[in-house]
Amino acid sequence: MERIEGLAKLTGRERYVDDLQVDGALWGMTVRSRAPRGRIREIRFDPAVDWSEIVVVDHRDIPGANEVLLIEPDQPVLAAERVRHVHEPVLLLAHPSREVVRRAAHAIEIEVDPEPPYLDVSVPPRPDQLQRGEDNVFKRLRIEKGDVDTALARAARVVEGEYRTGAQEHVYIETQGMLAWEENGVVFIKGSLQCPYYVHKAAIRALGREPDGVRIVQAATGGGFGGKEEYPSMIALHAALLTLAADRPVKIVYDRGEDMEATTKRHPAIVRHRTGVDADGRLVAQDIDVVMDGGAYVTLSPVVLSRGIIHASGPYRCENVRIHGRVMLTNSPPHGAFRGFGAPQTHFANERHMDVVAAAAGLDPIELRRRNLLLDGDETATGQRIVDGVDRIALLDQAVDLSGWREKEAAHAELARTDPWLRRGMGLACFHHGAGFTGSGEVMLASRLDVAGLPDGRVEVRSANIEMGQGTLTIFTAIAAARLGLAPSEVAIAEADTGRVPNSGPTVASRTAMIVGRLVEEACDDLRLRLGLPADARGEEIRQAVREHARATGEETVGRAEYEPPRGVLWDDATYRGDAYAAYGWGAYVAEVEVDLRTWATRVVDFVAVQDVGTVLHRTLAAGQVQGGVAQGIGWALMEECRWKDGAMQNAQLTNYIVPTSFDLPPIRVHFGETPWPGGPMGAKGLGELPIDGPAPAVVNAVARAIGVAPTEIPLTPERLMDLDRRAEGRHARIA
């Protein structure tokens, strides 16, 4: 079926928050700290500005709690006495003219008495840098299985390595934006967001209102990738505070520079491996240490760390696994949710390390993985038994065959012999990604969804899950139409408005199609039941019953569903043991690269992406998800470098934060295995995050094979690659 909102976007009819025109609306602007840490001593207003024309809000104007409610309420809506990062919001301004308020923001100086910032998680904080407990640690987590120390002592070979991944900017097409107004005593906030009920809860807390005193409505959203999961609560509260102070609607839309400087990014990480193998190259022990940079406030760091360590051992069987993880406070802007949610960092380290282990064991990297990939009946690091019927070795073999790996090896060797400058190589990554919230997270969410029969015989799906370019509207329409035997045109999707739709949970964690899509099916079944129809009723029978019920009662018939975990899925939050996810997607990616030894530039010339995510609900949208994830992964691997100074991003412009264009990308050949999972709609699992996990290690492994270096850090920019090749000694993996 056609994409539901595709034509509106193609023709420019779609209305994003910056397109919304409201009579009498003011423009809002944020005044931010320029220091990474310290006590606010003075705020100076330039007397050349007529401040009587400008609405000014500070922390004293917050009617509720001065905190952004999320996992922990440690982040202030507006800094009161201290700042903990550059670009921390201190004041809010509003004026009818966007240019006037922008100039006013630059006419305010915030004087901060500096305190020593903590900026590098690779070294322990000094006493004068401590800001949380004894070590600046936000969260510690641990996974243990078997006896790692004994297994390492008995291993035929132990291979060690340290791997580093940098921050990554989301670069959604539409920057952060919110519009707020008050109507009949209710504060409305409409904007670009992924999680309406996150913003709703935060607004209740900070505005000091009852739940029905705040209403959150999603506007058309031009991309998110996790960047519009938690941060929209901050900008929404700022817009609402200005609205209450001015008694007029207020719109805040960041320009690209402010968006890149102030909002969240992917957590930088350092991952250390000690891996023991037997004489045949089979894993006998994995000892893994994960350190992540959380930035100045907790945001979503604990759950990013959680997913990171759960995926850190990869899709491999190993009887003895120990994973330590911690995420630390630093005085940089807070890091937060980004597609993959911690797994890309640890998958990069593990898959890069698997190539190093293969070389140490004298094995081809393909063969090492074949010997160690999980088989049905094997257990993960958390003790979850995998019995989903997916043949992970077959996925690997398919990716290798489609890439022409064996045939190309000879051609690459000939190129190296005949061309003084160009080198080519192939790289591989095998990986997995859990769909839905970790452990008991989905149970705690208790997501709800309604499907209502409308008077004209159509049905309306009512959910808080949103469309941000990934295809939610189309997928939900397809699921409901198939379940009820209706045409897609007979299914409507309600606007994500907390005043109209139940809380079906956030649009994150590869949960929308699998978890919420299943609720769509169940609510359709409940609608049929409430109409008094048999379980096999479809099409015209349903349409007629809906219309007759509306005529007879003057009311809608509403089918409802609430999340219940699949049978046998058990998780222990205290021990981090059990079924971390109800289902996993599996992938095997192969990259072919060309390195020019004159410029040290790396070009990806071919890419094969093979995955099994259960039933593919919409092949075009699914392929687009994979191609988009691969593009982001190639950017993260080779060019997207956040450069930091004193806790601030120095290259917060798209002129010098480089993202891949179509010219930089190869043909991305997408293939799906389809092993239906009975817990998902029509057998589907989650897909959105899986494709970001594999590209970076596949690309970097290909570079390593092409020129014989051992990269351990991304992005692998030309400068970094040249330095790596020319160093006699470096931070290479070593064999003990």
Under 8 Å CB-to-CB from 435, ≥6 apart: which residues?
509, 510, 511, 514, 515, 581, 582, 583, 584, 585, 685, 686
- CA dist 147 and 435 (Å) reads 29
| pLDDT for the residue numbered 727 | 78
Q: Positive or negative, the Cα torsion across 229, 233, 234, 240?
A: positive
Mean pLDDT of 312-329: 98
Percent of the chain exceeding pLDDT 70 equals: 99
From its phi and psi, is residue 639 left (phi > 0), alpha (psi between -120 and 50) or beta?
alpha
Residue type, 694: G
pLDDT confidence band for 605 (50 / 70 / 90): very high
446 and 562 Cβ atoms separated by less than 8 Å: yes
Name which of 274, 327, 277, 338 is nearest 305 in CA terms: 327
Helices 392-403 and 365-372, packing angle to 10 deg: 160
Question: For the chain, what is the mean pLDDT?
Answer: 97
SS3 percent helix, strand, coil of the chain, rounded to 5, is: 35, 25, 40
What are 439's two structure tokens?
Answer: 């452990």
Question: What residues does CATH 3.30.365.10 cover in the chain?
Answer: 20-115+170-262, 359-435+580-735, 447-562
pLDDT confidence band for 576 (50 / 70 / 90): very high
CA 210 to chain centre: 31
What are 72's two structure tokens?
Answer: 């922990």
Mean pLDDT of 77-81: 98
- Which residue matches tokens 């921050």? 167
Q: Which helix (H) or strand (E) holds 398?
A: helix 392-403
- CA dist 459 and 524 (Å) reads 9
Under 8 Å CB-to-CB from 94, ≥6 apart: which residues?
26, 27, 28, 29, 54, 55, 57, 101, 242, 245, 246, 250
Q: Which helix (H) or strand (E) holds 100?
A: helix 98-106
Distances (CA, A) of 437 to 49, 325, 506, 514, 647: 50, 19, 10, 11, 31
Q: What is the DSSP letter of 516?
A: I
Distances (CA, A) of 619 to 242, 402, 524: 45, 19, 23
| pLDDT for the residue numbered 730 | 42
* End-to-end Cα spacing for the chain: 56
Residue 700: pLDDT over 90: yes
| pLDDT for the residue numbered 726 | 84
Q: If one looks up domain 20-115+170-262 in CATH, what number appears?
A: 3.30.365.10
226 phi and psi, to 5 degrees?
100, -20
Residue 60: pLDDT over 80: yes
pLDDT confidence band for 725 (50 / 70 / 90): confident
pLDDT confidence band for 333 (50 / 70 / 90): very high
The bridge status of strand 55-57 relative to strand 89-95 is antiparallel
Residue 390: pLDDT over 50: yes
What are 66's two structure tokens?
Answer: 């001065």
- CA dist 544 and 549 (Å) reads 9
436-445 b/e with 16+ CB inside 10 Å = b? bbbbbbbeeb
Helices 517-530 and 472-484, packing angle to 10 deg: 40
pLDDT confidence band for 690 (50 / 70 / 90): very high
What are 638's two structure tokens?
Answer: 């080779």
* Cis upstream peptide for 676 (omega within 30°): no
| pLDDT for the residue numbered 731 | 37
| pLDDT for the residue numbered 130 | 98
What are 320's two structure tokens?
Answer: 């003895």
Alpha helix (H) residue ranges in 253-361:
256-262, 301-310, 343-361
- CA dist 430 and 160 (Å) reads 20
* Cis upstream peptide for 711 (omega within 30°): no
Q: If one looks up domain 359-435+580-735 in CATH, what number appears?
A: 3.30.365.10
Distances (CA, A) of 528 to 94, 301, 431, 538, 552: 51, 42, 40, 9, 17
- Number of neighbouring beta carbons within 10 Å of residue 732: 14
pLDDT in tens, 523-559: 999 999 999 999 999 999 999 999 999 999 999 999 9
Q: Positive or negative, the Cα torsion across 192, 197, 202, 205?
A: positive
| pLDDT for the residue numbered 573 | 93
CA 360 to chain centre: 34
In degrees, rounded to 5, the angle at the alpha carbon of residue 618 between the alpha carbons of residues 613 and 621 is 90
CB-count exposure of residue 679 (10 Å: 0-12, 13-18, 19+): buried
Residue type, 669: R
Under 8 Å CB-to-CB from 514, ≥6 apart: which residues?
435, 436, 583, 614, 677, 679, 680, 681, 684, 685, 686
CA 573 to chain centre: 22
pLDDT in tens, 482-515: 999 999 999 999 999 999 999 999 999 999 999 9
Q: What is the DSSP letter of 512?
A: I
| pLDDT for the residue numbered 728 | 42
- CA dist 370 and 355 (Å) reads 13
- Let me know if domain 447-562 sits in CATH 3.40.960.10: no
- CA dist 563 and 446 (Å) reads 6
Mean pLDDT of 272-296: 98
544 and 487 Cβ atoms separated by less than 8 Å: no
- CA dist 715 and 725 (Å) reads 15
- Which residue matches tokens 């169940």? 522
What count of Cα atoms within 13 Å lies in the side-chain half-sphere of residue 98? 6
Distances (CA, A) of 251 to 97, 128, 285: 11, 40, 55
The model carries a pTM of 0.97
Mean pLDDT of 56-80: 98
